[in-house]
Amino acid sequence: MKIVLDAMGGDFGPAPNVEAAVQTAREFGYEIVLVGRQELVRPLLVQHNTANLHLPIVHASEVIEMHEHPAQAVKTKKNSSMVMGMQLVKNGDADAFVTMGNTGGALAAALFNLGRIRGIHRPALAAAYPTMKGWSLLLDVGANTDVKPDYLVQFALMGSIYAEKVMNVRNPRVALISNGEEETKGSQIVQDAHPLLKAAPINFTGNAEGRDLPAGNADVFVTDGFTGNVILKLSEGMKTMVEDLLRNAFMSSAQGKVAGLLSRDIIRGAMKKRLDYEEVGGAPLLGVDGVVIIGHGRSKARAIRSAMLRAAEAVDRGVVDAIEKGLEALPKTSTSESRVPSAN
Amino acid sequence: MKIVLDAMGGDFGPAPNVEAAVQTAREFGYEIVLVGRQELVRPLLVQHNTANLHLPIVHASEVIEMHEHPAQAVKTKKNSSMVMGMQLVKNGDADAFVTMGNTGGALAAALFNLGRIRGIHRPALAAAYPTMKGWSLLLDVGANTDVKPDYLVQFALMGSIYAEKVMNVRNPRVALISNGEEETKGSQIVQDAHPLLKAAPINFTGNAEGRDLPAGNADVFVTDGFTGNVILKLSEGMKTMVEDLLRNAFMSSAQGKVAGLLSRDIIRGAMKKRLDYEEVGGAPLLGVDGVVIIGHGRSKARAIRSAMLRAAEAVDRGVVDAIEKGLEALPKTSTSESRVPSAN
């Protein structure tokens, strides 16, 4: 297993990336290629004991910063860690690319350098979403703000394959996020996608409402990247809110402080287990012709390690090939392009 | 103050409606017109002490059920409590209409019977949304699954006026929900709405992300009815999830049970205060030519009473007139109809 890690990606620079690379190489015997500015990466790497570990550095002189315009940055910064890292995968020199950097940049770099799997309209970013019952997959969470019904069908298929192959869910239940359970509910695009999803070779269970997400009432939740992004960030925000509410409540009285001391670890444990957006680490970019995992900018070493493990699983289980094969089983809907006006 | 209450509305039938009507009439001296099937309403009403209270019953032989097709039901059931109730407001026989019934039905009945305020493209359903800092207003939460940029601008204006007049917020901060803070982020419709919102006579503070909602980083959050509905139901679902998580965590050990006993009221208080979707009771339907408040189907008497109080406030503070006046100050964007293709 040979994974390229964008050493420059994320809010904390190369340090947590290097730390995670060393850990993962040691723990699993993977070769981790650190792509980034060697004058920054090497001094960090030599601080670790890397004897017998495979941790080559590939020098990339440029960095796509968090707030750059994605497509433009990818086009002009040919020597950036993202572009060079994707090229290593493209050329068969590595199995997967992992980054905690600019999500839009990673998406653009993947599209330009790896390209789409043949037949895929748009790649989708999929997030593992914590629920009462474990983990579900939510996609798209930000790659496509405007979609067409056909895109949603492909997202559903890709999500179903990923859930089955990597998340070990047998015959995953796939639901379409809408503003009501009935199939007549939803935006026009969602209503148009509904019959297509019914006809697709997946275990489509119908529409899901917002409350079905935390309840874990499906294994794969399909939506556009706008709604998916709002869902993900709202969920994170509510977690923060609940933590703050509880902290304030316990601190506001003497009895509360005592109860808080007794309860703190119990509450932390409960919240950690089911409201932890760091555990899983990275979101797979499904539909590009290679394994790409994009993690949170705020990721520390543990989350970066998780993202690399997800990448290794996606490689091992042949997710890209499975999506390619799955597409062949999808009914062709050649009229779709003209059926719904696009806002793109 | 004369409020029409749909005595048939909600999941629990006339009983909680009658109870709330009696309470509200007694507490505030309002006249509450109970519209519904008198053979069901009268026996409930006589169980209460209604001496000196103004609680007339207007007989409506039909009911729009929770799962009927809204527009169709409204057209065929002329003697339904919703249609007859709206007519009372339309004819000036009452000041406001309040229902816990079928949201789509209430929307259709309001459109057919009260009509829109002149110049309003689409009415929007606004929900009071609990945040760390108090309450914000979220709209639309379900009246319009597909919108145009101009609709969002009108939602923003109506929300700003309602927040100022009824929620007592001075110069309300109005934010547009998107998948990123930058004004280049968002679906095409959201991106197109951004400059229009900047030019509107409101305190527009830019895009808000999902996490800004629980943080209360704006007073009015503007979005389409699809996204708004998902936000509202996801928030409710997360509240339920957190409650279940904490309950399970405390029950899973002996120490936990002790800590749970000490903490129960503190946690309940904290959750109740800031994650309570029942307190405010009803969502105003803004943009129709009359005061209409639509409550949750699961509402009990306390929530129905709250909805009537919201209605009375909207009447007292002249929300409908203020929206009509506010529209005049909005820059005209006559090209908007052709600028963005509609999926309607």
Give one DSSP letter per residue of B84-119, joined into a string: HHHHHHHTTS-SEEEE-S-HHHHHHHHHHHT-BPTT
Name, in order, each residue with C-beta under 8 angstroms of B185's C-beta and a sequence gap of 6 or more.
Answer: A145, B178, B179, B191, B207
Residue B337 is predicted with a pLDDT of 44
Residue A275 is predicted with a pLDDT of 72
Is B187 domain-assigned?
yes
Of B114, B142, B163, the position where a domain reaches its end is B114
Say if residue A311's pLDDT is above 90.
yes
Tokens of A12: 């904390």
Which band of pLDDT confidence, cut at 50, 70 and 90, is reported for residue A333?
low
In whole angstroms, give the CA distance from residue B86 to residue A212. Answer: 34
Q: What is the pLDDT along chain B (344 residues), one digit of tens a residue?
A: 999 999 999 999 999 999 999 999 999 999 999 999 999 999 999 999 999 999 999 999 999 987 888 888 999 999 999 999 999 999 999 999 999 998 889 999 999 999 999 999 999 999 999 999 989 999 999 899 999 999 999 999 999 999 999 999 999 999 999 998 888 889 999 999 999 999 999 999 999 999 999 999 999 999 999 999 999 999 999 988 888 888 887 777 777 787 777 777 877 777 777 776 655 678 999 999 999 999 988 899 999 999 999 999 999 999 999 999 999 988 776 444 434 443 33
User: Number of CB pairs < 8 Å for A and B?
Assistant: 197
pLDDT, mean of residues A279-294 = 90
Structural domains of chain B, count: 2
Q: What is the DSSP letter of B182?
A: S
Name, in order, each residue with C-beta under 8 angstroms of A78's C-beta and a sequence gap of 6 or more.
Answer: A62, A84
Instruction: State whether B245 and A214 contact (CB < 8 Å).
Output: no
Does B127 share its domain with B72? no
Half-sphere exposure of A208 (CA within 13 A, CB side): 27
Of B99, B114, B129, the position where a domain reaches its end is B114
In whole angstroms, give the CA distance from residue A259 to residue B269. Answer: 14
Q: How many residues does chain B have?
A: 344
Lowest mean pLDDT among A167-171, A191-195, A276-280, B78-82: A276-280
Is B290 domain-assigned?
no
Which band of pLDDT confidence, cut at 50, 70 and 90, is reported for residue A278?
low
Among the listed residues A152, A203, A151, A194, the one whose alpha carbon sits nearest the alpha carbon of residue A173? A203
Closest CA of chain A from B325, distance in Å: 31
- For the sheet with B96-99, list strands across it: B57-59, B31-36, B2-6, B96-99, B291-295, B282-286, B124-131, B134-139, B220-222, B173-177, B203-208
Residue A341 is predicted with a pLDDT of 41
Which band of pLDDT confidence, cut at 50, 70 and 90, is reported for residue A339?
very low
Are the C-beta atoms of residues B274 and B131 closer than 8 Å to each other? Answer: yes
Angle between helices B38-45 and B14-28 (to 10 degrees): 50
Is B84 domain-assigned?
yes
Is A343 domain-assigned?
yes
CB-nearest to B214 from A241, A269, A344 is: A241
pLDDT, mean of residues A170-190 = 94
Residue B70 is predicted with a pLDDT of 85
Residue B344 is predicted with a pLDDT of 36
- Residue A246 belongs to domain with CATH number: 3.40.718.10
Residue B136 is predicted with a pLDDT of 95
Closest CA of chain B from A186, distance in Å: 6
Closest CA of chain A from B56, distance in Å: 35
Does B109 share its domain with B124? no
Is A157 domain-assigned?
yes
Does B96 share its domain with B124? no
Identify from A72, A194, A234, A246 which residue to disrupt to test chain B contact, counting B C-beta atoms within 10 A and taking the largest count. A234
Does B238 share its domain with B342? yes
Q: What is the DSSP letter of A62?
A: B
B29 close to A (CB below 8 A): no
Does B182 share its domain with B197? yes
pLDDT, mean of residues A29-33 = 97
Residue B3 is predicted with a pLDDT of 98
Give pLDDT tens digits for A39-90: 999 999 999 999 999 999 999 999 998 788 888 899 999 999 999 999 999 9
In whole angstroms, give the CA distance from residue A305 to residue A311. Answer: 10
Closest CA of chain B from A74, distance in Å: 18
Of B54, B79, B114, the position where a domain reaches its end is B114
Q: What is the pTM of this model?
A: 0.91
In whole angstroms, give the CA distance from residue B262 to residue A72. Answer: 57
Between B343 and A6, name the one with better pLDDT.
A6
Instruction: State whether A227 and B225 contact (CB < 8 Å).
Output: no
Does B329 share its domain with B228? yes
Half-sphere exposure of B168 (CA within 13 A, CB side): 4
Tokens of A75: 């086009």
Is A209 domain-assigned?
yes
Does B46 share its domain with B165? no
A321 close to B (CB below 8 A): no
Host domain of residue A220: 124-279+338-344
Instruction: State whether A266 and B245 contact (CB < 8 Å).
Output: no
In whole angstroms, give the CA distance from residue A268 to residue A256. Answer: 16
Across chain A, which distance is largest between two alpha carbons, in Å?
67
Closest CA of chain A from B315, distance in Å: 30
Chain A residues 114-173 with CB within 8 Å of chain B: 131-132, 142, 145-146
Say if residue A262's pLDDT is above 90.
no
B263 close to A (CB below 8 A): yes
Q: C-alpha angle with apex B242: B238 to B247, nearest 5 degrees?
A: 150
Instruction: State whether A188 and B145 contact (CB < 8 Å).
Output: yes
Lowest mean pLDDT among A201-210, A276-285, B145-154, B193-202: A276-285
Residue B336 is predicted with a pLDDT of 45
In whole angstroms, give the CA distance from residue A24 to residue B111. Answer: 61
Instruction: State whether A237 and B214 contact (CB < 8 Å).
Output: yes
Does B160 share its domain with B29? no
B102 close to A (CB below 8 A): no
Task: Give the residue on A whose Cα is nearest the Cα of B264.
Answer: A259
Is A204 domain-assigned?
yes
Is B297 domain-assigned?
no
Lowest mean pLDDT among A162-166, A334-338, B107-111, B182-186: A334-338
Are the C-beta atoms of residues B182 and B230 closer than 8 Å to each other? Answer: no
Name, in order, each residue with C-beta under 8 angstroms of B271's C-beta and a sequence gap of 6 or more.
Answer: A242, A245, B239, B242, B243
If one counts every other C-beta atom within 10 angstroms of the C-beta of residue A90, the result is 17
Phi-psi region of A232 (alpha: psi -120 to 50; beta: other; left: phi over 0): alpha
